[in-house]
Amino acid sequence: RVDLPPFHGKDNVHDYLDWEMKFEQLFTCYNVSEEKIVPIATLSFQGSVMHWWTSLMREKQIMREPSIKYWNELRSALRRRHIPPYYERELMNKLQRLQHGNQSVEEYMQQMELLMLRDGIREEERTTIARFQSGLNLEIRDKVELLPYRDLNELVQLCVRVEQQLRRKPSFRKETTPYPKKDFKKEGYSSFSKDKPLEKEKEKQKPSNEPRTSSIKCFKCLGREHIASQCPTKKTMIIRCNEILSEENTSSSSSSSSEEDASLSSSEEAPCEDNLFHSRCKIFKKTYSLIVDSGSCNNFVSQRLVDKLNLTTIAHPKSYKLQWLNEDGPIEVKDQVNVPFSIGKYKDEVLCEIIPMHASHILLGRPWQHDTKAIHDGVTNKISLIHLGKKHTLTPLSPSQVLEDQVFMKSKKEKRRKRRF
């Protein structure tokens, strides 16, 4: 008597393939004839597969089709029902991506054999050896490649042996006796405590080469105890004798140094590398002073110029306070204006922020330089820019002309101050 393995017909491809393999082994072992295989196999059907088989046989009787009598026909019908069409392609992909990973060598080999068996792959032994080696872990593969073997079975046995040797190494390290700690604590601690005061005295006598924080100087705000990259962020315009030098990020608490408070001598002309770009522009056929400063984060225009020309202002979308390093204190920037101007053949209109500025009528900063792709030549102090597809070169004023403009604006400022009183 032989107990037949039951088949419930669940949607599990592996269960069906195991059942099919088991039945073929039984038929081969007991030498069952071809006519009896189908009736014996259908006796093991249970559940949904039994209902499927019954309805299939009734349909064939109604359609007057020949019934299934041979094992190959039954196996084909069962495979169409339980094995999806993409199953073989999925098995091939799994086989190609199979890696040794965390499993043992035997488990890795068994999984590869099972995938090849279910996919029906038959290949030469050297191809299987190459497939097996490519998925092995590097620590095992590098050692096995140096050892001789004749077939796949010997290769697997060598891999198992190398794997066992690698597993024994951590346990061997744990068994090593550590360095005795008691003697170290008794002798080491006493000697360390005795020598500790001497080391402290030596450290006091050693001159420290490290720079003190009080000697560190920021080259942006000229303050101390911080560097330029750590300079507190707050917009500040630096003014020296009514001339704008630069705009940097400094703290409101920092004070102007002696270099910022030093006055310009009217008899001396500074060299080009120390000067900003000073020029003159035309606004409504009238001449006004203009400065280009790459240190300025915005474009500015004088409040007096806006009032004099009666330009239409725009409310600033995000007003802010501008800290001037002089006696006037912070200034609130809350309005903007579009200023049309021309320098020779170059004609443009720039959005500027309105401030009470006396050093110049217009100050063009980084926004204008970015929009016009302006390039400043540090040797000639000329500025090259592109506007509406045309290249323009702006020539600066000479130091004497700059001084002339500053004296003129200073005299006008003094006249306005006298009129108030």
Distance CA 19, CA 10 (A): 12
Q: Is residue 152 part of a domain?
A: yes
DSSP for 339-394 reads EEEEETTEEEEEEEEEE--SS-SEEE-HHHHHHHT-EE-TTT--EEEEETTEEEEE
Tokens representing 275?
């000067």
Whether residue 245 is contained in a domain is answered as yes
d(CA 343, CA 289): 11
Instruction: List beta partners, residue 237.
Output: 247, 324
Q: Is 350 exposed, middle or buried (0-12, 13-18, 19+ CB in 10 A)?
A: middle
Residue 28 lies in a domain: yes
Give the containing element (helix H, strand E) for 92. Answer: helix 87-97
Query: Closest Cα partner for 159 from 113, 107, 97, 122?
Result: 107
- Of 57, 82, 107, the residue that ends a domain is 82
Q: Is residue 280 part of a domain?
A: yes
Based on the fold, state whether residues 283 and 415 are members of the same structural domain: yes
278 belongs to a structural domain: yes
DSSP three-state, residue 281: strand
* Paired tokens of 216: 């560190």
- Domain membership of residue 29 (yes or no) is yes
User: What local confidence, expressed as pLDDT, does residue 95 receive?
Assistant: 92
Final residue in a domain of this structure, among 53, 82, 111: 82
Residue 158 within a domain? yes
In terms of domains, do 301 and 315 share one?
yes
Domain range enclosing 141: 88-174
pLDDT for residue 3: 78
Of 157, 174, 191, which residue is a domain's last? 174
Task: Report the candidate in 136, 94, 130 with the shortest Cα–Cα distance to residue 114.
Answer: 94
Domain count, the chain: 3
CATH number at residue 402: 2.40.70.10
300 in helix, strand or coil? strand
Backbone φ, ψ for residue 148 (5° rounding): -80, 145
pLDDT of residue 102: 93
Decide: helix, strand or coil at residue 313. Answer: strand
Tally of CB atoms within 10 A around 15: 14
pLDDT for the residue numbered 338: 93
Strand partners for 394: 383
Rounded CA gap, 311 and 337, in Å? 7
In the prediction, which pLDDT does 59 show?
A: 92
**Angle, vertex CA 292, rays to CA 289 and CA 297, nearest 5:** 125
Question: Looking at the domain assignment, is residue 208 inside a domain?
Answer: no
Co-location of 250 and 353 in the same domain: yes
Cα(387)–Cα(373) distance, integer angstroms = 9
Task: Give which of 367, 358, 359 is closest to 336, Cα–Cα.
Answer: 367
Neighbours of 195 (CB within 10 A): 10
400 shares a domain with 307: yes
Total Cβ atoms within 10 A of residue 225 = 12
Residue 353 near residue 335 (C-beta atoms within 8 A): yes
DSSP 8-class letter at 329: -
Determine the pLDDT at residue 127. Answer: 93
In sequence order, what are the residues at sequence separation of 6 or more whose Cβ sits closer than 8 angstroms to the Cβ of residue 236? 221, 247, 248, 249, 250, 252, 322, 323, 324, 325
Please give the backbone phi and psi of residue 352, each rounded to the nearest 5 degrees, phi first: -120, 155
Q: For 218, which DSSP code?
A: -
* Complete DSSP assignment for 3-22: PPPPB---S-HHHHHHHHHH
Burial of 365 (C-beta count, 10 Å sphere; 0-12/13-18/19+): buried
pLDDT tens digits in sequence order for the chain, 421 residues long: 677 888 888 778 888 888 999 989 988 888 888 889 999 999 999 999 999 999 999 999 999 999 999 999 999 999 999 988 898 899 899 999 999 999 999 999 999 999 998 888 888 999 999 999 999 999 999 999 999 999 999 999 999 999 999 988 755 444 445 555 554 444 444 444 445 555 555 555 555 454 455 556 665 555 666 665 565 544 444 444 344 444 444 333 333 333 333 333 333 444 444 568 889 999 988 999 999 988 888 899 999 899 999 999 999 888 888 876 455 667 888 899 999 999 999 999 999 999 988 778 999 999 999 999 999 988 888 999 998 889 999 999 888 888 888 888 788 777 777 776 6
Task: Please state, in angstroms and rounded to a whole number, the distance separating the CA atoms of residues 235 and 320.
Answer: 9
Q: What pLDDT was estimated at residue 51? A: 92
In this predicted structure, what is the pLDDT of residue 228? 56
